[in-house]
Amino acid sequence: MAGFRWIVVVALLLAFLSKYIIGAIVKPFTQKTKTIIDDLIIEAINAPIFAAIIAGGLWIGINRILTVARTESIVNKIFIIVIIGIIGLAISRIVHALLEWYSVEIAPELPVILMTAWCRCSAGWQTSSFTVLPF
């Protein structure tokens, strides 16, 4: 049981160390670039990295104290589900960051397109103009 505690404590320390490294060392470098995409991606992956390190520490610690193979198999399956969730969270946050970057830096510089289409209304077929935004 003492081994479990040490593994979890080390995992927590590593998780907070990763958060510190990303915040204090990596972020200042990304803030010096011309675009915000790297800032947004670093912010997006910060929490999933933190969660993955803690989950990994818990998984290693729990596997150290388990002696029954069936229970170990169940714990491994639960851990796989947790890791899939963390990866899904990371992908979702990265896609959100990319969409935010596009809407802030790319879309405002694109021209607005005015389109004309035929539509059927109560008076018959008529043309209708509408604006298409590029995002």
Given the DSSP bridges, would you call strands 113-121 and 124-132 parallel, antiparallel or unpaired? antiparallel
**What is residue 25's three-state secondary structure?**
helix
Residue-wise pLDDT tens for the chain (135 aa)?
678 889 999 999 999 999 999 999 999 998 898 889 999 999 999 999 999 999 999 999 988 888 777 888 888 999 999 999 999 999 999 999 999 998 888 877 766 555 555 555 566 555 555 555 554
Q: Which run of H or E residues covers position 17? A: helix 2-20
124: left (phi over 0), alpha (psi -120 to 50) or beta: left
Per-residue pLDDT, 123 = 60
